[in-house]
Amino acid sequence: MKIILSKFAVALAVLSSFYCFAWGLTGHRVVAEIAQHHLSSRAERKIKKLLGNEKLAYYANWPDFIKSDTTGVYKETSAWHYVNVNPQKNFQQFKDSLTAQTGPNLYTQIKALSDQIKDKKVPDAQKRTALIFLIHLVGDLHQPMHVGRAGDLGGNKINVTYFGQNSNLHSVWDSKLIDSQQYSYTEFADVLDRKTKAEDEQIQSGSLEEWLYDSHKIANSVYFHTPANSKLSYDYNYRFEPTVERQLLYGGLRLAKVLNDIFG
């Protein structure tokens, strides 16, 4: 009985840890599902050669799952999921701060992984891993707290309650706002993916730096409206659910743009 309970405790701890991941399980799958619907025929064909018959959503959370790996093989990838930038007055100042940072981060790795996939000298096995990470990291880009502030670890150190349950600002944005809607990932993708072709193309326009700045500005608004020890409930959900929906949709459409450009 002790062995069974011990195994159950470990499993529960692992499952609970998933809620610390960017966008949570559902959010990343929503982004990937939307992207799937906007792949070009050429991109879809080439991606299938690398990933097989599974949809993008199947792999969307793997880069978070491997954080539980104990071999240390993927330890360095933890820093790939975010880029911390203090509040900046305008895009140019943000870009200067972004490009001045050293070491791998969300910004550098999206670029590096894209280059790996396009490089004909890179083995397919390495391209496959790079593609799986890229699917995930473009989703991370659109979770505002992944372009948050270093001092509070993107909101992880800002304690709040959400409908009476102890949490932190990062976790609320990772999963709780999304899970409150009670959609499956396919339902949520279908509900959101309703723009015209012209609107899709407008969302997909701009540079990686501009996309990051977009999330950075949202993060600043989130910080302003969510001081430490806030008691979050229906009013918070009402205020920010449209933003969450926007970011999931933008993440999916922009992921499709990135993949179509790589495999075009």
Question: What's the confidence (pLDDT) of residue 17?
Answer: 39
Q: What 3-state class would DSSP assign to 86?
A: coil
Q: φ, ψ for residue 168 (rounded to 5)?
A: -140, 165
pLDDT of residue 21: 54
Torsion of CA 46, 50, 53, 58, to 10 degrees: -120
CA dist list (Å): 87 to 74, 75, 94, 213:
30, 28, 8, 10
pLDDT score at 22: 66
Contact assessment for residue 34 and residue 193, using Cβ atoms and an 8 Å cutoff: yes
The residue type found at 240 is F
**Number of neighbouring beta carbons within 10 Å of residue 68:** 11
* Bridge partner list, 162: 165, 232
Three-state DSSP string of 134-152: HHHHHHHHCCHHHHCCHHH
User: Tokens 């790079």 appear where?
Assistant: 130
Q: What is the CATH number of domain 25-263?
A: 1.10.575.10
Looking at residue 9, its pLDDT comes to: 37
Rounded alpha-carbon distances, angstroms, from residue 155 to 52, 151, 229: 37, 9, 12
- Taking each helix axis from N to C terminus, what angle separates 208-225 and 234-263, rounded to the nearest 10 degrees? 170
For residue 104, CA distances in Å to 51, 80, 82 come to: 25, 6, 10
DSSP per-residue letters across 2-47: HHHHHHHHHHHHHHHHGGGSTTHHHHHHHHHHHHHTT--HHHHHHH
pLDDT in tens, the chain (264 residues): 334 334 333 333 333 333 345 688 999 999 999 999 999 999 999 999 999 999 999 999 999 999 888 888 899 999 999 999 999 989 999 999 999 998 999 999 999 999 999 999 999 999 999 999 999 999 999 999 999 999 999 999 999 999 999 999 999 999 999 999 999 999 999 999 999 999 999 999 999 999 999 999 999 999 999 999 999 999 999 999 999 999 999 999 999 999 999 998
Cβ 25 vs Cβ 18: under 8 Å: yes
Instruction: Look at residue 70 in the predicted model and tell me its pLDDT.
Output: 84
Cα separations (Å) of 99 from 83, 105, 107? Answer: 11, 11, 9
pLDDT at 10: 38
Check: CB of residue 241 under 8 Å from CB of residue 178. no
